[in-house]
Structure 1
C-alpha cells in the first residue's frame, strides 16, 4: 500500500525466497499468475509489461479481472463515478462450490480501505460495481479471499480482510 500511495506502478506478484529443492511444490508459498492471450514468450512478455498479473499462495488458480472493461494492471479513465468489476476466479474441480469473497481495496492510512465486499463461488463470474473518485486515491486492487480460513497476519480487529487472502489482482490506476 505504501508503494502504491507513493505513486509506484507495479504489477502484483507472489514470490518466495526459496533456495531448496522443493521449489513450487508446497501450498502457501508465494506464486504469480499471468493473464496471457497465448502460451508464447511474446505473449508472456506482453502480459508482464501490461501488468496483467496477480499474486497468490495457491497453485492452479486462474484469475481474470476487468474494471469497466480494462484488464487488471491498466488505466481506467474516471474522475468520479461507478466502476464495474468483473472477476473470474477458478481453481478447478477441487474448489467446485467453494465460497470466496471479492474485496475492493482503496488507499488507506495504515491498512487499505475496503469499499465493498461481494460473496462469490469458485468458477462463477463475480460482479461488483462501486462508486470511485480519483481524488480519493489513484489506485484500486481486488483481494480474493477464503472466508472459511483466518488471515495468518490479520489487520485491525474487525477489518474485512481478516480472512485468508487467496489472491490480489494488480492495481488499476484511476485517471481523470
Structure 2
C-alpha cells in the first residue's frame, strides 16, 4: 500500500488499476479525487437571512440596538429607576428638588427625604401629582407609592445600645 505524498494528486483510478476501498475513501474525504461511485450535487439553499435586498437587512441605529439589548437582558426596570433618580429635578420641579432627594426605591415604594418636616408635609399633599408624573415618565420603574420623610436626625431612643430611661438630657452642659 503506497500513500501519495501530502499535497499530491490522487492516482488515476481510470488507468485500469483498482484502488483499495480504504484509500479511495480517504481520497474522496480529503477532496483529492471525485468518487466514481457517487456524484454529489451541491444543494442550493434558500437562506433568507443572507439574501440581499430583503426586508430586515438594513443596518440598525445604535439606539435601536441598545434598546433591544437592554430589553433582552432585562435591564429596563433598573435603568428606569436610575433615570428617575437622575431626573428627579424634572419630575418634582427644580424648587422641590432643591429641598428633597430620593434615598431608596424598594418593593415599589420610592422614599424621598426632605430638608425639613415642613417640606415633607407639603410633599405629602402633592403625593398624587408626583406619583402620576413618575408613572407617566417612568412606567418601567414600577413605582407604586411615594413616601416622604423628614431630615435625618440622630436618635438615642433606638438601636442596639439603647437603654430605657430619660436619655441624655443632663449630659450636655
Is TM (by shorter chain) over 0.5?
no
TM-score (norm 2): 0.24
Which structure shows the bigger proportion of residues in strand conformation?
1
TM-score (norm 1): 0.23
Higher relative contact order (CA 8 A, sep 6+): 1
